[in-house]
Amino acid sequence: MRVLITGAAGFIGFHLSQRLLHRNIEVVGLDCISTYYSAQLKRDRLSILESLDGFKFYEEDLGNADAVSKIFGDEKPTHVVNLAAQPGVRYSKENPRAYAHSNISGFLNVLESCRANPVEHLVFASTSSVYGATQALPFTEQDGTEHPLTFYAASKKANELMAHNYAHLFDIPATGVRFFTVYGPWGRPDMALFIFTKAILENRPIPLFNGGKMARDFTYVEDIARGLESLLPLPPSKDDNWNSKSPDPSFSGVAPYKILNIGRGKSEELMRYVSVLEEKLGKKAIIDNQPYPEGDLQATWADTTALESLTGFKPQIDIEEGVSNFVDWYMDYFKQ
């Protein structure tokens, strides 16, 4: 396997790259080091990857079609994991064009490059946000995703549709993976755990929406990396069992295409997440109650039966262990 990972300097891309490199799998990383959050954090992740054998890196923007196509042509990856994206649900209201650039045009360039340089399997990041206004918990891959509440979710749903089409037209085996609130060491500074830890340590209030009464399926980043690793050697094929009169949206009879959830499979109230963090830090949070943000889902909860029956893998790290590992990393990284 020679795996091209876009977004390799990002949170999940870093963990997946590290995991594959430790198994002696060659990794070609691509990332533009966007400044949506600390470029230094991305460069620090990269310097760890660059110290490992088998890693090669390109600093490039997915929006640059010629450059992306040249990297694919030169490197000839057997597998591609597309993690590069403009993330964040709330920022997509402020700056939708950043999402159109990286998530839609950028992903089209990845698809075009897979068309010109056939790969055994394209795995690409989607999100639990695509479930949008659907409230059937836990979310299964068969649930409706036609009602996105944010432009971020719409851009990821677009990725799923684009990949289905390219899988059909050009026979590119493609698996879209819906991640559920990922956290852990080397995490993103725009996400709750990072924001809360920093604020508690600095004696500042933490913004808590709706009294902490929203629930998330918090998924530890190493579980995501393990799930992705287990999927790589399992490209989908067209499925004869697909009933075109009542089509299952999670796979296809006309394309080698599949959609899977990767979540811990538990829904935890945000207030409990905060309590686990307070306990680890040995310090109480000052709560700043805020109204419910428009576009955020009330609750998320992944049904991961499909992932487990395909790969035998089920995410297993609970928030007590995951939050503790995050805080240990945070203290060490910022020398607190």
Ligand X SMILES: NC(=O)c1ccc[n+]([C@@H]2O[C@H](COP(=O)([O-])OP(=O)(O)OC[C@H]3O[C@@H](n4cnc5c(N)ncnc54)[C@H](O)[C@@H]3O)[C@@H](O)[C@H]2O)c1
Contact residues: ligand X, CB under 6 A: 7, 9-13, 31-34, 42, 61-63, 83-87, 102, 106, 125, 127, 179, 181-182, 188
- Alpha carbon 207 to its chain centroid, in Å, reads 24
Residue 25: CB minimum distance to ligand X, A: 19
69: enclosing H helix or E strand: helix 65-75
Residues forming beta bridges with residue 3, ordered by sequence position: 27, 79
Residue 283: CB minimum distance to ligand X, A: 25
CB-wise, 253 or 295, nearer to ligand X?
295
CB-wise, 32 or 123, nearer to ligand X?
32
How many Å apart are CA 299 and CA 212, to the nearest integer? Answer: 11
Concatenated DSSP letters of 211-231 = GG--EE--EEHHHHHHHHHHH
Residue from 131, 152, 166, 273 carrying the catalytic annotation:
152
CA distances from 21 to 5, 46, 158, 231, 254 (A): 12, 13, 31, 16, 35
What are the residues whose beta carbons fall under 8 Å from the beta carbon of 228, sequence distance 6 or more? 16, 81, 123, 177, 262
Residue 255: CB minimum distance to ligand X, A: 21
CB-wise, 11 or 55, nearer to ligand X?
11
Residue 101: CB minimum distance to ligand X, A: 6
CB-wise, 208 or 223, nearer to ligand X?
223
Residues forming beta bridges with residue 332, ordered by sequence position: none
Residue nearest to ligand X (CB): 10
What are the residues whose beta carbons fall under 8 Å from the beta carbon of 35, sequence distance 6 or more? none
Q: Which of 153, 84, 126 is nearest to 261 (CA)?
A: 126
Residue 46: CB minimum distance to ligand X, A: 9
168: enclosing H helix or E strand: helix 151-170
Task: Please indicate whether residue 131 is annotated as part of the active site.
Answer: no
CB-wise, 33 or 242, nearer to ligand X?
33
- Taking the CA atoms of 250, 251, 257 and 262 in sequence, report the sign of the dihedral they define: positive
The catalytic site residues sit at 152
